[in-house]
Amino acid sequence: MDNIIKLKFEKSLEGLAGYEFGMETYKNQVENRINFDQKITIVFPDNIQRIASSFIQGFFENIVQHIGVSGVEKNIEIISTKEELKKIIISNLL
């Protein structure tokens, strides 16, 4: 099983916000497909340009419980047209 998770959002959506929306996105698109024993790749669609800390905290809550923030840094690759997205994510988890 590959550990590449391509997130899907409405094409008109440019920003992600909201703790509950982050948790819901994780539950619906990631939870049953993720293997914490392998490197994980999360792909954000090109239309997503902004991600609020509230969404990040909700989305990554379960992941951080499993592998910690250092595990997110080491084992998760973030693919996005927004270069600095992984730095933004990590800084919002600390």
The whole-angstrom separation of Cα 27 and Cα 83 is: 25
| Range name among 23-32, 70-79, 85-94 with the lowest pLDDT average | 85-94
Q: pTM for the whole thing? A: 0.91
Is the pLDDT at 83 greater than 70, yes or no?
A: yes
Is the pLDDT at 1 greater than 80, yes or no?
A: no
Which of the four pLDDT bands, split at 50, 70 and 90, describes residue 25? Answer: very high
Alpha helices in the chain (DSSP H): 19-29, 53-75, 85-93
